Amino acid sequence: MVGRYKAVAIKTQYWKPGENYLKQLVKAIDGTVEDGDFVTVSEKAVSTALGNLIDEKEVEASWLARFLAKYWMRFIWPYILGPLCHLRKRTINYLRSYPLEEGSLHKQVAILHSGFLQALMHGSEGAIDGSNLPYSYVSLPLENAQEIAQQLRERIESELGKKVTAVIVDTDKTYSLRGLHFTPRPKPLKGIHSCGGFLAYLAGRLFKLERRATPLAVAGSQITTEEALEIAKIANRTRGAGTGRTVWDMAKTFNVKLTGVTWKMLESVEHRPIVIIRPKENETLTS
């Protein structure tokens, strides 16, 4: 199905909290978007612009959060679960030196906002994510992704006169087995089951099931769950990893400690939160 589409990532400025992302999105795609396109947008970028963030330094770690950081993350994941889940060697090495203080605060946020089974994940617990964010900030998952997708679609049609399908996408994976689609993260698109947190991740990775980025909302046309997953997969592949796939990669990019990344650093890097995807029978797609 991937061969049916062309895709292009659209560059924008970094969307800080309070940013009018709707205005920035319309401005960025003007001249490129056409009728029938899929306009996909990163959940993380929208969540950041909306200020849907938590400063983890403002929480106090419980004994359970400290236990998870010190033992579960430093021993169970790198030596038992990591190999079973076929994690990259680099990821396993990161986990062996999981930061105790920052990690404890992160696990506390995961417990409070996502629950115990999500806190057992080695990262992106309940879609809580610290990559592409400064200091000790993390973003929370969107609660109203469908409403936002509808706003995007309507804004593009009213200001640019283009009828498109707006799709909100997250990099967290959905696993598929014979038409059954499930994900560890909360609130995916209808047709994808959110269940089990850590257990869903373990099952998907252990059995090497097909995994793709997760669509959260679709507005503007009726497409199947399978097609939505393919659109999300193309968008994720086209967008790239930005400053890095993990907070460790991000810190390495800027050569600072884990909480040493600043807003200014992030603004200096090229950001591509939007990907336009077009059926191949339409005209050539260029940015």
pLDDT digits (tens, 9 = 90+) for 85-105: 999 999 999 999 999 999 999
pLDDT at 280: 82
Asked whether residue 26 is assigned to any structural domain, the reply reads yes
What single letter denotes the amino acid at residue 217? A
Q: What total number of domains does the chain contain?
A: 2
Asked whether residue 285 is assigned to any structural domain, the reply reads no
H-state helical runs in 127-246 = 145-160, 198-206, 225-239
pLDDT at 287: 59
pLDDT at 277: 98
Residues 6+ apart with CB under 8 A from 277: 5, 6, 7, 37, 38, 40, 231, 234, 235, 238
Q: Could you read off the pLDDT of 130-161 as tens digits, one per residue?
A: 999 999 999 999 999 999 999 999 999 999 99
pLDDT at 281: 74
Alpha carbon distance 278, 118 (integer Å) = 35
Q: Could you read off the pLDDT of 248-257 as tens digits, one per residue?
A: 889 999 999 9
Clarify whether residues 130 and 260 are in a common domain: no
Asked whether residue 234 is assigned to any structural domain, the reply reads yes
Clarify whether residues 252 and 222 are in a common domain: yes
Asked whether residue 104 is assigned to any structural domain, the reply reads yes
Domain hosting residue 179, numbered range: 2-53+142-279
Clarify whether residues 134 and 160 are in a common domain: no
Mean pLDDT of 188-215: 96
